[in-house]
Amino acid sequence: MLISLTGIGYLIFTRWFSSAGQTMEGIAGSINENVYNRIYSFMRTPDHINEVNRKTIENGILDLSDEKLRDKFFVGVLSSCSDEIYSFSYGTSDGEYYGARRNENGTVEIMRNNASTGGESWYYSVDEDMTAGELVVKAGSFDPRSRSWYRAAVEAQGPALSPVYKHFVMDDLAISAAWPVYDGGGKLQGVLGTHMLLSGIGAFLENTIQGFNGYAIIVERDSGEMIANSTGADNFTVLEDGSLKRYRIGEAGSSDMGKAYEYYRANGMSDFIYEGAKDRLYVNVREIQVRGMDWIVMTAIPDGLLMDNVVKSIHLTVLIIVVTLLAAGFVFYAVTDRLLKPVNSLLQVSEALSSGDLSKRVVISRNDEIGCISKSFNRVADKMQFLINNLEANVSERTEQLHYLSMHDSLTGLHNRRCFEENRSRIDVSDNLPLSVIFADINGLKMTNDIFGHAAGDELIRKSSEILVQSCRDKDIIARIGGDEFIVLLPRTDEEIAGRIISRIRSGFANARVAAIKCSMSLGSDTKWRMDQSLEEVMANAENAMYKDKTMNRKTVNRDIIDTIVETLDAKSSSEKRHSIAVSELCGRVGAALKLPEAKINKLERAGYLHDIGKIIFDESFLKKEAYTEEEHEKMRQHAVVGYRILNLFDETLDLAEFVYCHHERWDGKGYPRGLYGEQIPKIARIISIVETYERVLSRGELSAEERKRAAIEVIRAGAGNQFDPQIAEAFIRIIDEGSI
């Protein structure tokens, strides 16, 4: 045994030494990849903020002359961002400047600079309603057009990043992302800017490299000046004259990293081993390039990280071998002793059990037939003792479970209608005045059940209940009183606090989705102030307010649901997104060429864009298939019916449902889903059928664009009179040949 263990140990450890170097290279590469991905995402954050919000200004959704609306917009965006984003602002082409910033204490303040401030930047505190409060700072004259980020965006005529600069208050480096805003005529309106601190990168590098005893540094490629490092060394200093001095790599922190950087610049190798003053370093280098920003990420791991463990493992293995040999001798002795013991224990316990002593157990000393019998005997005794001792406890526990189930909704765990009706009188007492009631109704539950199935509908109900629980307080009573209806009793809560709770509920639904449905609730509330008021009347008022909310916001909710379905389908398949846009545009041009009325052209474009919306029920892998089996073809045919059902649910798309339903019908009656023929098929559906087929043939295959166009025309020509309306098909081919579209 000793010889075998020694031989195995020798083979294992020689292989460890030979592969340790490769493992170190893998660790260095993995860390560098992690840092690269995090920094790339980090630097995309301000760009994403600008991209999301610029349309609000560009499309005139935000009226900059409305101070309250403007202040809420900038404070809302900045408050939703991480602390690294210290400012979100907008500089107009006239030199006005608006936005929100975090001061040196991390408190959000509102910025204004216009004629009312005399061209100076004034900063205000933020009230609870996210509007300007007291004036806290007058910062002097400031023209955003003179800032580097403003000029960079104007010169680029698109999104741009500023050079790295020192924050004007905090001891930190910062960078700004800017995006120009133009009016409909292409005239510059101003520049939207998101300004970010870089200190978070250094903290991330320290956390990433912690435990590896290595180094991680980010520098600017051309200048070699440091952006962040894991050693805690300063990346810059402020001179006595107030100017900023940036440290180059090697001037601060590890000198080995500075020399390794010079080696990289000289040789261009992204993976190499550098012999440092103390350690042999495995170095990995990656480049980050975002909108003109050119940085280098360098990580280095010392070889002692694994080699030291290999040596320790050898020592430990020797110790384990010795302990194993000693244990083997002891086990041999114990097994021998157990084999020689009599089996009287089994007989003694049998006699004790027969006399009523259920506490006795057989000591298991063997694993043979006698041992198996002893184990079975002990299990019987355990079961008998358990049943006798726990019979009463089981009855009590089951009774409690039944009572709980009778008073709670099994799907959400909330109180049910029975519990609410039986216990609301305990809440309707003077100590709980003012008593507010919130009535809530889930939007889109029926559509979710009809389109995505009851499993998705149940998930929507559970998600809605979770948001209600998270948004309400511990003392509030929440009950599910119907399929999609909830009621909340708020003891000692006036109208203002109830309104804030409703706002929290709406915020909780802001980004909530189930399947392809954007979750939302219609909400209404009322408050009972006196005991002579009827709680029934207050509940009825809250329910009426909920229905009023549902009616007033119906179009917005419907639009959000349709948009979410389309966005989800586009995310599943980029080719479906491209196809829908292309069909819509081509339908519009065909309608114009056929001299259809403007209203009909508009309807044709909308139906063309939404003609495949029913494919939302398919998963991503199904949509990306190039070919389908007969069974899969039958499954795919359901999308016309599903699209019809979806569009029929909304007033805004009701006029399009029939066209989407019929766009796979054939002129000869062999289409689906209803087998209509000839002019029984709506004209718009006949046009979409031709345009969709033409676009799919045109966009597939490896032929040249001209060859695909000819092939697509031949498909339309061959289908005229059987698949397609012959007159529309003839007119379509003529329009294509004449180059009208």
Token readout for 444 is: 């889109």
Surface-to-core class of residue 575, CB atoms within 10 Å of its CB (0-12 exposed, 13-18 middle, 19+ buried): middle
- pLDDT averaged over every residue in the chain: 84
pLDDT, position 336:
61
Q: How big is the chain, counted in residues? A: 741
Highest mean pLDDT, choosing among 13-27, 127-141, 231-245: 127-141
User: Is 467 among the domain residues?
Assistant: yes
User: Which residue type sits at 335?
Assistant: V
Question: pLDDT tens for residues 493-546?
Answer: 999 999 999 999 999 988 888 877 788 899 999 999 999 999 999 999 999 999
CA dist 453 and 447 (Å) reads 9
pLDDT, position 723:
92
DSSP code for 515: T
pLDDT, position 597:
93
User: Is 353 among the domain residues?
Assistant: yes
Same domain as 154, residue 89 = yes
Tokens 């009572």, residue located: 403
pLDDT, position 523:
95
Identify the domain boundary among 135, 170, 199: 199
Least confident of 338-347, 599-608, 634-643: 338-347
Q: What is the average pLDDT across 641-665?
A: 89
pLDDT, position 3:
65
pLDDT, position 367:
72
Q: Which residue has the higher pLDDT, 35 or 217?
A: 217
Same domain as 547, residue 565 = no
pLDDT, position 226:
86
Q: List phi, psi (to 5°) of 693.
A: -65, -45
Same domain as 679, residue 624 = yes
Q: What is the average pLDDT across 333-355?
A: 65
CA 317 to chain centre: 47
Angle at 315 between CA 310 and CA 319, to 5 degrees: 140
CA dist 133 and 682 (Å) reads 60
Question: HEC states along 346-380?
Answer: HHHHHHHHHCCCCCCCCCCCCCCHHHHHHHHHHHH
Identify the domain boundary among 490, 516, 551: 551
pLDDT, position 24:
67
Q: What is the average pLDDT across 123-144?
A: 91
Which helix (H) or strand (E) element contains residue 271? strand 271-275
User: Which residue type sits at 237?
Assistant: T
Same domain as 574, residue 543 = no
Same domain as 624, residue 532 = no
CB atoms within 10 A of CB 124: 18
CA dist 704 and 717 (Å) reads 20
Same domain as 380, residue 440 = no
Highest mean pLDDT, choosing among 28-37, 217-226, 686-695: 686-695
User: Is 495 among the domain residues?
Assistant: yes
Question: pLDDT tens for residues 534-587?
Answer: 999 999 999 999 999 988 888 888 888 888 888 888 888 888 889 899 899 999
Q: Quote the domain boundaries for residue 353.
A: 341-404
Please, which residues have CB within 8 angstroms of residue 481's CB and are 6 or more apart in sequence? 416, 417, 420, 487
Same domain as 592, residue 522 = no
Least confident of 180-194, 329-343, 455-469, 667-681: 329-343
Same domain as 577, residue 528 = no
User: Is 507 among the domain residues?
Assistant: yes
User: Is 328 among the domain residues?
Assistant: no
pLDDT, position 392:
55
Omega of the bond leading into 673 within 30 degrees of 0 (cis): yes
Phi-psi region of 60 (alpha: psi -120 to 50; beta: other; left: phi over 0): left
Share of the chain above pLDDT 70, in %: 89
Identify the domain boundary among 165, 199, 233: 199
SS3 label, residue 62: coil
Does the structure show a pLDDT above 80 at 195? yes
Same domain as 479, residue 394 = no
Q: What is the average pLDDT across 55-67?
A: 87
CA proximity to 365, closest of 336, 338, 344:
338
Which band of pLDDT confidence, cut at 50, 70 and 90, is reported for residue 358?
A: low
Q: List phi, psi (to 5°) of 213.
A: 55, 35
CATH number of the domain that residue 503 is part of? 3.30.70.270
Which band of pLDDT confidence, cut at 50, 70 and 90, is reported for residue 4?
A: low
pLDDT, position 536:
93
pLDDT, position 343:
64
CATH number of the domain that residue 653 is part of? 1.10.3210.10
User: Which residue type sits at 425?
Assistant: S
Q: What is the average pLDDT across 165-188?
A: 85
Q: Which residue has the higher pLDDT, 345 or 617?
A: 617
CA dist 465 and 483 (Å) reads 12
pLDDT, position 13:
60
User: Is 268 among the domain residues?
Assistant: no
Q: What is the average pLDDT across 114-140?
A: 91
Which band of pLDDT confidence, cut at 50, 70 and 90, is reported for residue 33?
A: confident
Does the structure show a pLDDT above 80 at 178? yes
User: Is 46 among the domain residues?
Assistant: yes
pLDDT, position 429:
92
Does the structure show a pLDDT above 60 at 342? no
CATH number of the domain that residue 78 is part of? 3.30.450.20
Which helix (H) or strand (E) element contains residue 109? strand 108-113
Domain count for the chain? 4
User: Which residue type sits at 6?
Assistant: T
Share of the chain above pLDDT 90, in %: 33
SS3 label, residue 168: coil
SS3 label, residue 189: strand
Instruction: Report yes or no: 192 and 54 within 8 Å, Cβ to Cβ.
Output: yes
Angstrom CA distances, 708 to 586, 692, 694, 702, stand at 16, 14, 10, 8
DSSP code for 252: B
Q: What is the average pLDDT across 370-377?
A: 73
CB atoms within 10 A of CB 166: 18
Please, which residues have CB within 8 angstroms of residue 313's CB and are 6 or more apart in sequence? 13, 16
322-328 long-range Cβ contacts below 8 angstroms, 24+ apart: 324/5, 325/1, 325/2, 328/1
CB atoms within 10 A of CB 66: 11
Question: HEC states along 437-452?
Answer: EEEEEECCHHHHHHHH
Same domain as 373, residue 513 = no
CA 362 to chain centre: 58
For the chain, the maximum distance between any two Cα atoms, rounded to a whole number of angstroms, is 107
User: Is 15 among the domain residues?
Assistant: no
Same domain as 96, residue 182 = yes
Question: pLDDT tens for residues 278-287?
Answer: 778 888 898 8
CA dist 180 and 164 (Å) reads 20
Question: pLDDT tens for residues 291-313?
Answer: 778 888 888 888 776 666 666 66
pLDDT, position 658:
93
Token readout for 157 is: 């005529």
Same domain as 586, residue 540 = no
CA dist 208 and 202 (Å) reads 10
